[in-house]
Chains A and B, each alone.
Chain A
Amino acid sequence: MNKAGERLYNGLVKENPTFVLMLGMCPTLAVTTSAMNGLGMGLTTMVVLALSNLFISLLRRVIPDRVRIPAFIVVIASFVTVVQLLLEAYLPALNKSLGVYIPLIVVNCIILGRAESYAYSNPPIPSLFDGIGMGLGFSFALTCIGAFRELLGAGKLFGAALMPEGFEPIRIFGQAPGAFFVLAMLVAVQNAIKNRRKKAGKPYEKIGSGCSEDCMNCSDRGCTRRFYDAGAAEKKPVRQPGSTAQGKRPKPAQKQAEFEYIDLDKEEK
């Protein structure tokens, strides 16, 4: 039971997928035009995340290591389909406003990341709670961003007018460019905190998240990895089930020469 509580806290605060890990940025930017949409997307993702974590954890001794990514994708896509059909039946309005982003939950790197880094190497109950915790963290973050954008962009919160009479809504926050600006501020705040921690001599490195360091450095890690690890043996060490979540995969040397990665800390190192 203690373990479950720890997983919830971990997902909600310590490794919050949006504010700390910066994962799943596509839906974060796209659906947070209002607090309601953010909450809906967050909860939908949470259901898929919790169920797929549970089932991948139950199946972890059955899935062969080499085809684990396709297997994860099948499990995740099945739950997405189930959830999508349920939404269509019972919450058609929400389904309509989230549109194409519901099926796109399949490629949300939070889900694949948790499957790979936690559920595949841990027992079912903690995995379930890990999914719920991460999902709650994601919902919380999306609702916050949605509320902020709705308040500035339309002067409302959950559809209720909140701002005083004279307030002129800043329309741009409700539109696509506003999403980029809000995210830019979020990352800037994160950078500022990190800089200060560094100055104080505290550890400031991000917590590795299995899938990828974060959505900004997706290039060779995590969410864009090979579908089928055909060259797993020679290219990358295959992750052993049971290895720690923090274990970073070494970058393939040849690819590293080709790209440079955006490393927020590079200048300071």
Chain B
Amino acid sequence: MDNVKELLVILIGSSLVSNVVLSQFLGLCPFLGVSRKVKTAAGMGGAVIFVITLASFVAGVINQFVLIKFKVQYLDTIVFILVIAALVQFVEMFLRKVMPALYEALGVYLPLITTNCAVLGVAINNEQAEYGILTGTVNGFATAVGFTVAIVILAGIREKIAYNDVPKAFQGMPIVLLTAGLMAIAFVGFSGLL
């Protein structure tokens, strides 16, 4: 029971309270770059959920059975970045061969996530918090869900902003950043949840 409670706390904490983009600033590039339309944003979110969950699982396994076992934790950054980057490339090839339908849906987004700092960030966070494989994977999943929630909301707002009369200097990125700032204020409110 305690275990389930801990997992729930991680789930809420990582997805809403300390949202990966809005309070940790990881994965800003896709957050700002692929949020023009709700549909593409949701696709990106799906791909991120898939990759981060998988990557945090693999990173957890490697951490447990290689880094800790051989006492080479100081190599974590190098090992994680290489494993994650290779994993994403491998997943892309695997999906293309084995599951073309899923590849159709996620494929275009996968290369964009290769060196996304959120993926590495989750792996390192898991290691520093000394999460086990299960807890780490849940944390990765929750973080990615948080990313998806944020990017879909932002895309929804941006679809409306496109028709607004924005001052000239604020057109384009500045207004999007201001929107993200306001969203961040809203997400600060979630800290009352835990």
Contact = CB atoms under 8 A, between A and B. Distances in A.
A78 B78 CA distance: 7
B11 to A, nearest CB: 20
Contacts of A44: none
Contacts of A84: 77
Contact of B77 (A103, A216, A220): A103
A72 B124 CA distance: 20
Nearest to B187: A176
A177 B129 CA distance: 25
Nearest to B123: A103
Given A80-B77, A81-B78, A184-B177, A261 B33 contact: yes
B115 A223 contact: yes
Given A184-B177, A215-B29, A267 B85 contact: no
A160 interface: no
Chain A, interface size category, equals 35 or more
B114 interface: yes
Q: Is the interface of A mostly helix, strand, loop or mixed?
A: helix
A186 to B, nearest CB: 8
Q: Is the interface of B mostly helix, strand, loop or mixed?
A: helix
A267 B170 CA distance: 13
A226 B111 contact: yes
Given A73-B85, A81-B77, A226 B124 contact: no
Interface string B23-53: 1111111101110100010000000000000
B177 A183 contact: yes
Interface in A176-190: 176-181, 183-185, 187-189
Interface string B97-116: 00000000000100111111
A70 B85 contact: yes
B78 A26 contact: no
A112 B117 CA distance: 13
A218 B33 contact: yes
Contacts of B86: 227-228
Contacts of A267: 171
Interface of B: 22-30, 32-34, 36, 40, 74-78, 81-82, 85-86, 88-89, 108, 111-117, 120-121, 124-125, 128, 168-178, 180-182, 184-185, 188
**9 tightest A-B contacts by CB?**
A180-B181, A218-B29, A184-B177, A227-B85, A177-B184, A30-B25, A192-B169, A188-B174, A77-B78
